[in-house]
Amino acid sequence: MDFYAFVEGPLLWVAFLIFIIGTLARAALFLFTSYKMDKIIYQHFSLKYILSSLVRWLLPLNKSVPKNPIFTVLTYIFHLCLIVLPIWIYQHIIYWELSRFAWSWASIPAVLADWMTLIFLAIALFFLVRRIFSADIRLLSTFSDYFLLVVTVMPFLTGYFLTHGTLDGNSFLKDNMQLIHILSGEVMLILIPFTKLSHFVLFFFSRGATAIEFGRRGYSI
| Residue spans per domain, the chain | 68-141
Question: Is pLDDT larger for residue 4 or for residue 50?
Answer: 4
Say what the pLDDT of residue 217 is.
61
Average pLDDT over residues 160-188: 93
Contacts of 16 (CB under 8 A, 6+ apart): 189
Across the chain, mean pLDDT equals 88
Average pLDDT over residues 81-98: 93
Contacts of 181 (CB under 8 A, 6+ apart): 155, 158, 159, 161, 162
Rounded to whole angstroms, the Cα distance separating 108 from 195 reads 30
Rounded to whole angstroms, the Cα distance separating 109 from 89 reads 8
Half-sphere exposure of 176 (CA within 13 A, CB side): 9
Average pLDDT over residues 98-123: 94
